[in-house]
Amino acid sequence: MLLNQMKYFVAVVEHNSFTEAAAASFISQSAISQQIQSLEEELGVELLHRKHRSFQLTPAGEHFYRQSKLLLADITKLKRETIQIGESEESQLKIGYLRVYGGLELHEAVAVFSERYPEISLSIINGTHEELYHELRQKSVDIVLSDQRRAFSEDYMNVELVRSEMYAELSIRNPLSRQTELTLTELKDIPCILIATKEQQAIEEDYYKHTLGFRGNFLFAESLDEGRLLVAGNRGFLPIESVGTLPQPVGTIRRIPLVKDQAAITRKYCAFWQKKRSNYYIEEFAELLKELLIKE
């Protein structure tokens, strides 16, 4: 069975005409008719029931049409991915993740992926949500692990990985650290520590204040480690999310669940990448990351 025969058959069905299918395929009508006839002879079943100048799909033909569409799409994708890899001097997968992310699953996913695909060079950056979104639009990264802050776009693959609960990390010197849960109202007089570069501070503050409902003053740190040093010094509290396995903080810091209306505050974390740049390795990494997060 030739690949072209499948293409010709799909064209005939979708144009509902041998003449139009032949024109679209840039061959003669007699040639496309002969190819379909050869296909039926090879399979030993009738795919098209012909009646005068019209035809109807047989049950076998309907099945063959649906499966051919899927196979042809897979072949087109395979061809595109192979060309992308072949045109690159060194095949790379560029990954971005949130600067505030502290889970272990990303590290494990990188290790497993590198072992499975040693021919792929990995490069990794971190940033705020908006920084990662910019990098994704500029094609500086292939895939990002980030929280959802806007409606899903049809131009991107938006794979939900996990719904994570929010916590507040507090110094054990703060009286609130003795509680088993905290509300944002109880934290309103304590500075909220956010992880952001100077350029992103206003954006992060606006999101936490007006979207998530955090109150009071804000302090900023450029890394998770720096933020936790501020917490250890009892300068404020650090909002953090349990995306997968989050290691316990040092003994001078307590992590306490955040609640609203007696229910845990949760956030959605996703893998995002541009649909038109999708390939096997991006999809494989996203699936691997999702498996690891769900497992935990």
- At 129-171, the pLDDT tens digits run 999 999 999 999 999 999 999 899 999 999 999 888 999 999 9
Interior CA angle at 79 toward 76 and 83, to 5°? 140
The two structure tokens encoding residue 27: 């061959």
Q: Which pLDDT value is given to residue 3? A: 87
**127 in Cβ contact with 158 (< 8 Å):** no
Which pTM was predicted? 0.65
- Range 45-82 burial, b when 16+ CB lie within 10 A, else e: eebbeeeeeebebeeebeebbeebeeeeeeeeeeeebe
Nearest to 265 by CA among 163, 171, 166: 166
pLDDT in tens, 64-119: 999 999 999 988 888 877 776 665 545 889 999 998 887 789 999 999 999 998 88
Quick one: which H or E segment has residue 145?
strand 143-147
Asked whether 237 and 192 are in contact (CB, 8 A), the reply is yes
Checking if the pLDDT of 262 tops 90, the result is: no
71, 6 in Cβ contact below 8 A?
A: yes
178-196 residue pLDDT tens: 999 999 999 999 999 999 9
CA angle 36, 40, 45 (to 5 degrees): 150
